[in-house]
């Protein structure tokens, strides 16, 4: 039973990675086209090309400090809010998977 749950959780997390990528691509393109000055300030973020720690940090700061809310772009605001909820959910599910994994291996501290 635990193996099925582990596998289902792993597959869900992998699917969520691809959804996250799609959300990032949409967000980067939206910012690039409608808010080019902000796009440049964030180091012209992309999913893979020109991706580095600095522009990833700038994007995460943009997301978590809700900088998007000052841009008067309702679609961008909606997607960024979804991304914040999505990332919290992903981390919670990932930690759950780790706990299930370690519990199954007898590594949990009981």
The tally of CA atoms less than 13 A away on the side-chain side of residue 32 is 10
Q: Are residues 97 and 13 in contact, defined by beta-carbon separation less than 8 angstroms?
A: yes
Mean pLDDT value across the chain:
91
Cβ–Cβ contacts within 10 Å for residue 62, how many? 19
62 vs 101: which has the higher pLDDT: 62
108 vs 30: which has the higher pLDDT: 30
Q: State pTM to two decimals.
A: 0.85
Residue 64: is its pLDDT beyond 80? yes
Residues 79-84: what's their mean pLDDT?
Answer: 98
Ordered by start, the domain boundaries in the chain are 14-103
Residues 36-40: what's their mean pLDDT?
Answer: 96
């Amino acid at each position: 039973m635990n193996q099925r749950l582990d596998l289902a959780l792993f597959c869900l997390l992998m699917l969520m990675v691809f959804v996250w990528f799609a959300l990032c691509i949409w967000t980067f393109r939206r910012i690039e086209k409608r808010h080019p000055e902000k796009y440049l300030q964030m180091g012209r973020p992309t999913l893979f090309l020109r991706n580095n720690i600095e522009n990833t940090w700038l994007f995460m700061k943009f997301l978590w400090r809700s900088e998007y809310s000052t841009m008067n772009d309702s679609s961008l605001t909606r997607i960024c809010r979804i991304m914040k909820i999505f990332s919290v959910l992903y981390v919670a599910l990932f930690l759950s998977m780790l706990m299930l994994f370690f519990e199954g291996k007898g590594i949990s501290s009981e």
